Amino acid sequence: MSQVNYHISSIAGLESEWLDHDASWISLSEQEQLDRLRHQDRRREWLAGRWLCKHMIQEELSLTCQHTMPLSVIEIESLYGGRRTSRPRVIIDGQMQSMEISITHSNDWIGVALATKSGCSIGIDLVSQTLTNKHSLDVWLTENEKQGVAENSDELPIIWSIKESVYKASNRGELFRPLEMEVYRTLTGEYACHYKALTEGIDYSIMVDRHADHIFSITTIKNDSLAGVL
């Protein structure tokens, strides 16, 4: 399975960086996407995600190129024909790339997962550990998951995050329906998920970790095992 890199950063810390940079780091197409966003917090999250994505891609490409790729030629495209795509796409110098990226944000944190080689789909999701039962769990958790959370409330943000990252990695445009997923632990203690896109024979992995006061998960699915399932 392809190497997946990830990075989680404070949005406030990144903001000072992009504000000090020449505005040309955003392409005309990306500026059009940004202009669609009216809420200031959403614009800030969008800018943080693009800034972090581009720097991670720039760093990866510097390992194989003899020069540093300008941020202005790296585009993160999330609209196609005026509509949102199932996942962001990477364009460099006008050419679509085989890289896979996933972006997540929660409170003042932004996270990006990146696979620079083709062969896998990825999804990352970041959730506050203080996520409580005040949320409507009936639309999120199966009966088995509710029982697990009743026994250990720490499982709630983990299950929540895994469902989001599994959906991001596997979806091909279908709606997000959390109750169609069920997160569980294998006999070896690893997290897994029952879902229509993760049938028997699908090669996938789920990583769960903590960052500051947040839980994050990264789901990686080998593309050739996913083909034809959905």
Over residues 108-118, the mean pLDDT reads 91
Quick check: is 230 in a domain? no
Number of domains, the chain: 2
pLDDT digits (tens, 9 = 90+) for 154-177: 999 999 999 999 999 998 888 899
What pLDDT is stored for residue 184 in this prediction? Answer: 96
Query: Among residues of the chain, what percentage have pLDDT more than 90?
Result: 68
What pLDDT is stored for residue 102 in this prediction? Answer: 96
Which pTM value belongs to this model?
0.91
pLDDT for residue 227 is more than 70 = no
pLDDT for residue 2 is more than 90 = no
CA triple 192-198-202, angle to 5 deg: 100
Are residues 190 and 87 located together in one domain of the fold? Answer: no
Are residues 24 and 95 located together in one domain of the fold? Answer: yes
CA triple 97-201-159, angle to 5 deg: 80
Q: Show the domain range for 214.
A: 125-223
pLDDT digits (tens, 9 = 90+) for 29-71: 899 989 999 999 999 999 999 999 999 999 988 877 767 889 9
pLDDT for residue 1 is more than 60 = no
pLDDT digits (tens, 9 = 90+) for 175-192: 899 999 999 999 999 999
How does the average pLDDT of the chain come out, rounded? 89
Are residues 9 and 87 located together in one domain of the fold? Answer: yes
Quick check: is 229 in a domain? no
How does residue 229 score in pLDDT terms, banded at 50, 70 and 90?
A: very low
- Final residue in a domain of this structure, among 65, 83, 118: 118
Query: Among residues of the chain, what percentage have pLDDT more than 70?
Result: 90
What pLDDT is stored for residue 64 in this prediction? Answer: 76
